Amino acid sequence: MKVFKVKVNNTSYDVEVEEVKSGTSSVLAVGVKPAPVTANIKKVVSSKGKVAGGSFVIKAPLPGLIVEIAVETGKAIKQGEKVLVLEAMKMENTILSPVSGTVDKIIVKVGESVNSSQEMIVIKA
């Protein structure tokens, strides 16, 4: 079995390829392992360069469809708690909170398509 790294739309995948011989012909069996998905996080910075109230913005790690929002505005959440589920390439990706705090703003809605790096949720730490 050989493992190849394949990049599609700036997303890396490990692809396992195995040659299986069947009589006189060969068949290739392919298994795909998606790269781990993490949320892109950036501190919201004021024009003076200071952190504006300790807020964090969770951005979409890849283009996809919002299938579940697990939090509400004003809800206290802990680091590692599920915030939303993003479906991309027929796989559901659970996005976890990178910090503990309070959900300040939910920018996206269930059923909405998002682009890579699009802001989805603001958490006030």
Q: Give pTM, 2 decimals.
A: 0.59
* Predicted local confidence at residue 10, as pLDDT: 74
Better-scored residue on pLDDT, 65 or 37: 65
Q: How far apart are CA 33 and CA 87, in angstroms?
A: 16
Q: How confident is the model over 61-90, as a mean pLDDT?
A: 93
CA 107 to chain CA mean position, Å = 15
> Hey, how many other C-beta atoms are within 10 angstroms of the C-beta on 124?
16
How confident is the model at residue 65, as a pLDDT? Answer: 94
- Give the count of beta carbons closer than 10 Å to the beta carbon of residue 46: 9
| CATH number belonging to the domain at 40-124, selected among 3.30.70.790, 3.40.47.10, 2.40.50.100, 3.40.50.300 | 2.40.50.100
Residues of the chain with CATH 2.40.50.100: 40-124
Check residue 4 and give its pLDDT: 74
Q: Where are the beta strands (DSSP E) in 1-125?
A: 2-8, 11-22, 25-34, 40-45, 51-59, 64-69, 76-77, 82-88, 91-96, 101-106, 113-114, 119-124
Q: Which residue has the higher pLDDT, 16 or 87?
A: 87
